Amino acid sequence: MRTDLSPAEKITAAAVRDSFNDAAVVMHYARAAHQLGLWASERLLIEQWFPDKAAPLLELGCGAGRVTFGLWDLGYRDLTALDFAEELLEQARSLAALRAVDAIRFIQADATKLSQCHLFADKTPASEGGICAGRNDEAQQGTDRPDFAGALFMFNGLMQIPGRENRRKAFREIRSVCRPGARFLFTTHDREDDPHARLCWADEAARWARGGQDPRLIEFGDRWFANELGGRTFMHLPVRAEVVEDLTATGWTLLFDAMRRAVAPESAAVREFSDECRFWVAERGE
Ligand SMILES: C[S@@+](CC[C@H](N)C(=O)[O-])C[C@H]1O[C@@H](n2cnc3c(N)ncnc32)[C@H](O)[C@@H]1O
């Protein structure tokens, strides 16, 4: 049986990373990378907001590469993809090998600690000794400042960072590796969107008011739920105003946001893989 946090432990980044390194979860995301690919809504927004396919893009929380290879197939050629879960990254790297794609740089890194990761400047392909091979040694580190023209954190990965201050840290860190004018595309849930969910959240608010919430949670809006793969998933479900505040506080200007259903209809396979979410596009100010 898999281990879980004890009720006395708060959710940590390490617990979230472990949950993604779980074998069943790795298989789930690897299957999605091989078979599902980009959602219709993702494809539409990516092409709309990242028109320059030669521009350097950073994909955070790439997992096994579902979005990464979707970007590659759309013609994006300067891609750096990172994740903090090494088992998922391993799947992304083997899919790259299977597809004989050696120009994508895969990096193991935590989105809240990008300034501690000096790897972004190395643009050398793996075939020429670049960081695609996933080596984190000093010799592989570049010296230039990272300068991404765009960043993506798809399928709610940003909201899997426990603690609002840590999520704000990620917003700041992502900003710090992007050039002025860079776009940032990401998704979150919206706990005010669905009337039924609003009722459940009202019950949850009552639990928090009397101190009866799951003691492992950090903030109202957090969930640490048993997933269909036999493990646990952490997710923070924000309200729209919270994300707008976080963007403003961290130097991003909101350009666009909409629920997925308003962007494009999705196939049954996509709806089976993922629930409704809100898309966000922000721009890095000067
Ligand atoms: C829901 S999965 C999505 C994976 C992939 N983008 C996809 O759509 O199939 C979220 C991903 O974000 C990664 N992640 C969560 N927190 C992270 C962090 N602080 N730094 C880097 N990656 C993180 C997880 O390891 C996981 O691979």
Please indicate whether residue 189, judged by its CB atom, sits closer than 6 Å to ligand 1: no
**CA–CA separation, 40 vs 44, rounded Å?**
6
Q: Which amino acid, residue 154?
A: M
**CA–CA separation, 178 vs 271, rounded Å?**
32
Which atom of ligand 1 is closest in space to residue 112's alpha carbon?
19
Please indicate whether residue 26, judged by its CB atom, sits closer than 6 Å to ligand 1: no
Paired with 186 in beta bridges are: 153, 280
Please indicate whether residue 92, judged by its CB atom, sits closer than 6 Å to ligand 1: no
Pocket test for ligand 1, best of 114, 119, 155 (most atoms within 8 A of CB): 155
Q: Whose CA is nearest to atom 8 of ligand 1?
A: 155
Please indicate whether residue 155, judged by its CB atom, sits closer than 6 Å to ligand 1: yes
- Nearest to residue 162, comparing CAs of 17, 8, 4? 17
Under DSSP, the state recorded for 144 is S
Q: Domains, the chain, ranges and CATH? A: 13-191+238-284 (3.40.50.150)
Give me the tens of pLDDT residue by residue for the chain, a chain 286 residues long: 456 788 889 999 999 999 999 999 999 999 999 999 999 999 999 999 999 999 999 999 999 999 999 999 999 999 999 999 999 999 999 999 999 999 999 999 999 999 887 665 554 554 554 443 333 333 334 446 689 999 999 999 999 999 999 999 999 999 999 999 999 999 999 999 999 999 999 999 999 999 999 999 999 999 999 999 999 999 999 999 999 999 999 999 999 999 999 999 999 999 999 999 999 999 998 8
pLDDT of residue 146: 80
**CA–CA separation, 265 vs 286, rounded Å?**
35
Residue for token digits 């391993």?
Answer: 90
Measured in angstroms, how far is the CA atom of residue 123 from the centroid of ligand 1?
22
pLDDT of residue 47: 98
pLDDT of residue 128: 54
- Neighbouring C-beta atoms of residue 95, cutoff 10 Å: 19
> Would you say how long the chain is, in residues?
286
Measured in angstroms, how far is the CA atom of residue 208 from the centroid of ligand 1?
28
Pairing mode, strands 57-60 and 148-153? parallel
Under DSSP, the state recorded for 157 is G
Please indicate whether residue 187, judged by its CB atom, sits closer than 6 Å to ligand 1: no
Please indicate whether residue 20, judged by its CB atom, sits closer than 6 Å to ligand 1: yes
Q: Whose CA is nearest to atom 6 of ligand 1?
A: 62
Measured in angstroms, how far is the CA atom of residue 88 from the centroid of ligand 1?
9
pLDDT of residue 144: 60
Please indicate whether residue 156, judged by its CB atom, sits closer than 6 Å to ligand 1: yes
The contacts of residue 83 (CB under 8 Å, 6+ apart) are 20, 60, 61, 62, 63, 89, 92, 108, 109
Q: Whose CA is nearest to atom 12 of ligand 1?
A: 61
